[in-house]
Amino acid sequence: MYTYQLFSAASARLQVPESGFYLSELSAPKRWPILTFLPTGFEPQYAYPLLVFLHGRGASERQLIPWMPALSRRNYVAIALRGPYSLRGKRVRESGYVWLDSRWPAEELIEDYLFAAVEETSRRLRIHPRRIFLVGFCEGAQVAYRVALRHPHHFGGLVVLNGTLPSTRPLLRLPEARSLPVFIAHGIANAVIPLSAARKAAQLLHLAGLAVDLRLYPTTHRLHPAMLQDANHWLMNLVTATP
């Protein structure tokens, strides 16, 4: 059983918080939400790997709640962020939040949010600076690709779940990006983002010199349980190999 409550820097300093999910807000540059996951048997003196999760279209930071225990209950601290644009009030049968909106450029806004959230989490908790990983699902994967490939030295790796490369200038920082390992998990019957898009992304990244692990699963656009299990094994191989 996991808790879901407010999380403050003061409570983290004064006592060992329980395992579970904690909702907080950034104080600057804007009051953006952060959903934090603390693992089972949380040890405040251990420098944890950090997963930064970016949700799919129409979801929110709460998408992490069912997925994180399926990935790992013990190995990581994780944070989930919320897309900056709400779908509420639009003439579509959708709700929740999105990362991409053609009316406003969001690249710098999202980067400010992401790096501020990582910095805030690193102040509250002990995070290993070389073990910070981006995890993106669907639309969030496009954002994760763009941020990781623009700032590859900030991340230990990238996990892409049923996602695709952004359409414009995805490889912005070569040769630095060649140090970024990438795990791509994709459903073979995915009608939202076809399998050909994942294969094309893997081929492009491989030709650019990145280490890419592409794995396919018998599912649609939904996550297959083995995706998260394999992502955990892949991440832990990186974690244990980091000096």
pLDDT (tens place) for every residue of the chain, 243 residues total: 344 454 544 444 436 678 899 999 998 778 899 999 999 999 999 999 999 999 999 999 999 999 999 999 999 999 999 999 888 765 555 679 999 876 555 778 899 999 999 999 999 999 999 999 999 999 999 999 999 999 999 999 999 999 999 877 666 677 888 999 999 999 999 999 999 999 999 999 999 999 999 999 999 999 999 999 999 999 999 999 866
Look at residue 49 and tell me if it is in a domain: yes
Look at residue 92 and tell me if it is in a domain: no
Query: The CATH number of the domain where 72 resides is what?
Result: 3.40.50.1820
Look at residue 70 and tell me if it is in a domain: yes
Look at residue 108 and tell me if it is in a domain: yes
Look at residue 134 and tell me if it is in a domain: yes
The full 3-state SS of the chain, as one line of letters, equals CCEEEECCHHHHHHCCCCCEEEEEECCCCCCCEEEEEECCCCCCCCCEEEEEEECCCCECHHHHHHHHHHHCCCCCEEEEECCCEECCCCCCCCCCEECCCCCCCCHHHHHHHHHHHHHHHHHHCCEEEEEEEEEEECHHHHHHHHHHHHCHHHCCEEEEECCCCCCCCCCCCCCHHHHCCEEEEEECCCCCCCHHHHHHHHHHHHHCCCCEEEEEECCCCCCCHHHHHHHHHHHHHHHHHCC
* Domain interval for residue 162: 3-87+97-241
Look at residue 207 and tell me if it is in a domain: yes
Look at residue 130 and tell me if it is in a domain: yes
